[in-house]
Amino acid sequence: MTRGSKISRALDVRALRRCLLVFTTPIALAAWVGATVGTAQSANFLSTMTRYPESSGEALYDAICQGCHMADAKGSTGAGSYPALAADSKLEAAGYALLVVVQGQKAMPSFGYALSDEQIAAVVNYVRTHFDNDYKDEVTVADVEAARR
Partner 1 sequence: MYQAMTSLGHAADSTYVGPIELPGDPKGASILILGAGLAGMVAALELRKAGYKVKVLEYQKRAGGRNWTLRGGDSYVELGGARQDCAFDEGLYINPGPWRIPFHHRALLDYCKRLGVRLEPFIQLNFNSYLHASTAFGGKPQRFRHVLADYHGRVTELLAKAVNADRLDDEVSAQDKEVLLASLRAWGTLDRDYSYRPGYFSSEVRGYEKAPGGGVDGAPLPSTPLAFEDVLSSRLWRHLSLPLQHDFQHTMFQPVGGMDMIGKAFFREVGDVIEFGAKVTAIRQNENGVTVTYVSDGAEGVRQASADWCLCTIPLSILSQIELDVGAPMRAAIDAVPYAASLKIGLQFKRRFWEEDEAIYGGISYTDLPIAQISYPSTDYHKPGKGVLLGAYSFGLPATEFTSMTPAERVALAVENGAQLHPQYREEFENGIAVAWHRVPWTLGCFGLWNTATRAAHYQNLCAIDGRIVLAGEHASYVNAWQEGAILSSLDAITRLHKRVVTGK
Residue numbers at the binding site for partner 1 (CB under 8 A) = 3, 6-7, 10-11, 13-14, 17-19, 21-26, 29-30, 32-42, 45-46, 49-50, 52, 62-68, 70-71, 76-82, 104, 106-110, 114
**Surface-to-core class of residue 28, CB atoms within 10 Å of its CB (0-12 exposed, 13-18 middle, 19+ buried):** buried
Collapse the DSSP code of 81 into the 3-class scheme (helix H, G, I; strand E, B; otherwise coil) and give the result. strand
Minimal distance, residue 143 CB to partner 1, in Å:
23
* Cα separation, 98 vs 142, whole angstroms: 11
> Which CB sits closer to partner 1, 24 or 125?
24
Provide, rounded to whole angstroms, the least separation between the CB of residue 87 and partner 1: 18
Nearest-approach distance from CB 69 to partner 1, in angstroms: 10
Count CA atoms within 13 Å of residue 140 on its CB side: 1
